[in-house]
């Protein structure tokens, strides 16, 4: 995991709590989200109280604006709201609205500084919306004004913002030019903190264009400055990114050294950085085990064996997963879990790979799973016990009635003995008949409950896996070489959640996912799970099929058609959707003992997730592997090589809709 320098480094650190909350909400189901929010409230009450006070302050600012005179003070009020929106990753549309109001009033008052600041704020909000081209245009307008005003610090800051925009557009040539212009100005005005940040930004650009030596050089400069400033926050960040650069260049021992130094330099664990470092160290040990030379030597020193490196990799990856779960970082936990599976595969121990997932299933289940599921293995016995108790209660009540009548009979004279005997005989006959009816009714209930258990098991697991579980009491993990995995995710879901009540939000998500389930049934695609507002499915297992990629593409098109119709009907009360697809091999099996679930793992799953992350609303983004399988039947548009997290540059295609 590389930690990129977005906007100002210090701003990123100060807003760690907001990122934690957003990532937690992205990784949870709807019902679990409500529980997770309560957890955040109980764990971080001080931060949340401060957040509420800030929101109240914004509302107060809006109220002040209504009666404020049209002067520079009102421009600053507009900018306060606009800057807050993009600095805190909240409501970019509101940020743009007030930024444009600031521009209009600044132009009217001929207040050039205010106009330039407003364009910078507009650029930041567009950047937050991932509209990088528009962000670039606003930053350029701000730069022109700053250059007229000859404001060196503002010019350098604007060059830095331009570098982020160019980099996000993959225009690394221009990103490098403006970043070097920024660092020259920072050096001239002796802004040491900004100089360190720019060295890191330039290093990141060099890493993206695969000039790793230049990247390491720039990170080294940033590290020198950070150590000079004794910046306990910046030092581990730079060391971590140096490690990431070494990883990309194949220098795994150097990467491990950088990661270990980063971990030991952590003084305050900001935003779960220690968990990230543990996972990165485990990833480095794994890479050394996979790619180390046979004699296990590095710089003349005898290095640990492959087996020892694998053990260390698993140890640190486990610590990374535990830390990520504590911080609510579901993405990191899943990513590091995948590396544990790879480590076990190196020894050919697929069973151990599955065992490692089972070990963490309980922890992940508390963040990911929706509600409680019935324990399938015990459900039949449970109903038998309930019915037995009911029968016992009936018999006891009838015995009490009989005893009451017997007690009454003994008080009567002998002349009524015959009547009592007849009554008792009829009572016994009645009990036998009643018990027989109760037993038949009980047997019927047992059959019904057994059928419910069967239906519930088939709703959770594929048919073949369910049969194996009933016969053997367990289901073995299996490797499937040819499958296609699909991820979907709603755009603007967090914003929608703020507009709707929890019940409305659950109802909307339930409606959409029910429709998706119907589409999966139509194309005989196996739904795996939902994670919050994300939906995951796979074709080609547990029964292999040759047209797995084509089935998923056609299903994805129907999902888009459904969401377009829903968007046209409901407008802002629903979301647009983006879809990512990749084909390859996966390991599939059952995780856990209680609340278990059928799941899949492997690099194919991670790559499919990257395809979704790099897709766009209303688009189906597929990998080169999937494209090769369907290119004769489905028309696609080549997007070029796009940087995917921890994957490097990958060929991607949009499916023609």
State mean pLDDT over 602-620.
Answer: 92
User: Which residues partner with 578 through β-bridges?
Assistant: 489
SS3 per residue for 347-384: CCCHHHHHHHHHHHHHHHHHHHCCCCCCCHHHHHHHHH
Contact present, 527 and 560 (Cβ < 8 Å): no
Strand 620-623 and strand 648-655: the pairing is: antiparallel
Range with top average pLDDT, 5-19, 40-54, 221-235? 221-235
The Cα 282–Cα 242 span in angstroms is: 16
pTM over 0.75: no
Question: Largest alpha-carbon pair distance within the chain?
Answer: 125
State mean pLDDT over 53-79.
Answer: 70
State mean pLDDT over 341-354.
Answer: 69
pLDDT over 70, % of the chain: 68
The Cα 448–Cα 457 span in angstroms is: 14
State mean pLDDT over 192-210.
Answer: 84
Burial environment of residue 551 by CB neighbours within 10 A (0 to 12, 13 to 18, 19 or more): buried
Contacts of 209 (CB under 8 A, 6+ apart): 172
The Cα 498–Cα 104 span in angstroms is: 29
Class of domain 475-655: alpha beta
The Cα 326–Cα 44 span in angstroms is: 13
69-160 falls under which CATH superfamily?
Tetratricopeptide repeat domain (1.25.40.10)
Range with top average pLDDT, 50-64, 124-138, 210-224? 124-138
Say how far residue 494 (Cα) sits from the centre of its chain.
Answer: 13
pLDDT at 634: 92
pLDDT at 234: 84
User: Which residues partner with 536 through β-bridges?
Assistant: 487, 529
- 88-132, pLDDT tens digit by residue? 766 788 889 999 999 999 999 999 999 999 999 999 999 988 899
Contact present, 196 and 183 (Cβ < 8 Å): no
- For tokens 């009714």, what's the residue? 441
> Is residue 276 scored above 70 in pLDDT?
yes
* Of residues 152, 131, 134, the one with CA closest to residue 143: 152
pLDDT at 13: 33
Phi, psi (rounded to 5 degrees) for 300: 80, -5
- 458-492, pLDDT tens digit by residue? 566 666 676 777 666 666 778 898 999 999 999 88
- 161-184, pLDDT tens digit by residue? 999 999 889 898 899 899 989 989
> Is residue 48 scored above 60 in pLDDT?
no
């Amino acid at each position: 995991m590389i930690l990129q320098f977005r906007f100002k480094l210090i701003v990123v650190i100060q807003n760690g709590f907001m990122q934690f909350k957003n990532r937690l909400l992205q990784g949870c189901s709807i019902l679990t989200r409500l529980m997770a929010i309560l957890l955040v409230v109980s764990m971080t009450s001080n931060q949340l109280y401060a957040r509420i006070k800030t929101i109240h302050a914004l509302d107060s600012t809006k109220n002040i604006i209504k009666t404020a005179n049209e002067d520079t003070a009102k421009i600053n009020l507009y900018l306060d709201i606009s800057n807050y929106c993009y600095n805190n990753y909240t409501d970019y549309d509101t940020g743009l609205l007030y930024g444009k109001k600031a521009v209009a009033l600044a132009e009217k008052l001929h207040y050039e500084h205010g106009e330039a600041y407003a364009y910078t704020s507009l650029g930041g909000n567009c950047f937050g919306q991932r509209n990088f081209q528009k962000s670039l245009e606003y930053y350029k307008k701000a730069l022109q004004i700053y250059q007229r005003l000859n404001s060196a610090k503002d010019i350098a800051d604007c060059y830095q913002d331009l570098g982020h925009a160019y980099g996000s557009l993959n225009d690394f040539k221009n990103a490098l030019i403006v970043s070097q212009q920024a660092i020259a100005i920072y050096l001239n005005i002796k802004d040491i903190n900004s100089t360190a940040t720019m060295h890191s930004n330039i290093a990141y650009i060099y890493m993206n264009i695969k000039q790793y030596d230049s990247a390491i050089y720039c990170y080294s400069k940033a590290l020198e400055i950070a150590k000079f400033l004794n910046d306990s926050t910046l030092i581990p960040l730079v060391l971590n990114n140096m490690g990431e650069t070494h990883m990309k260049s194949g220098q795994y021992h150097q990467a491990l050294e950088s990661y270990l130094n980063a971990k030991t330099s952590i003084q305050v664990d900001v935003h779960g950085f220690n968990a990230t470092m543990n996972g990165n160290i485990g990833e480095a040990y794994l890479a050394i085990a996979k790619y180390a030379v046979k004699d296990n030597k590095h710089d003349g020193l005898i290095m640990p064996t492959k087996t020892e490196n694998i053990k260390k990799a698993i140890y640190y990856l486990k610590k990374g997963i535990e830390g990520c779960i504590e911080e609510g970082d579901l993405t990191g936990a899943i990513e590091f879990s995948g590396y544990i599976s790879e480590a076990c595969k190196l020894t050919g121990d697929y069973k151990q790979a599955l065992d490692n997932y089972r070990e963490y299933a309980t922890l992940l289940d508390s963040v990911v799973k929706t509600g409680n599921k019935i324990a399938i293995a015990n459900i039949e016995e449970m109903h038998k016990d309930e019915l037995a108790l009911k029968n016992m209660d009936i018999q006891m009540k009838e015995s009490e009635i009989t005893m009451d009548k017997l007690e009454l009979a003994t008080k009567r004279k002998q002349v009524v003995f015959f009547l009592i005997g007849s009554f008792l005989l009829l009572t016994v006959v009645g009990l036998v008949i009643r018990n027989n009816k109760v037993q038949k009714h009980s047997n019927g209930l047992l059959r019904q409950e057994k059928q419910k258990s069967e239906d519930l098991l088939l709703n959770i697991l594929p048919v073949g896996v369910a049969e194996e579980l009933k016969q053997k009491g367990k289901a073995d993990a299996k490797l499937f070489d040819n499958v296609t995995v699909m991820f979907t995710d709603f755009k603007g879901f967090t914003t929608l959640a703020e507009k709707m009540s929890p019940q409305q939000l659950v109802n909307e998500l339930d409606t959409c996912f029910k429709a998706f389930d119907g589409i999966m049934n139509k194309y005989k695609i196996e739904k795996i799970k939902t994670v919050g507002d994300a939906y995951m499915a796979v074709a080609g297992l547990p029964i292999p099929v040759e047209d797995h990629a084509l089935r998923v593409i056609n299903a994805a098109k129907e999902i888009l058609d459904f969401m377009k119709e829903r968007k046209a009907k409901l407008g802002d009360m629903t979301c647009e959707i983006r879809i990512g697809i990749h084909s390859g091999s996966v390991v599939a099996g059952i995780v856990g003992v209680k609340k278990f679930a059928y799941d899949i793992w492997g690099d194919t799953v991670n790559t499919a997730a990257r395809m979704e992350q790099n897709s766009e609303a209303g688009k189906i983004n597929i990998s080169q592997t999937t494209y090769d399988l369907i290119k004769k039947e489905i028309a696609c548009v080549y997007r070029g090589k796009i940087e995917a997290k921890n994957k490097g540059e990958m060929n991607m295609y949009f499916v023609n809709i």
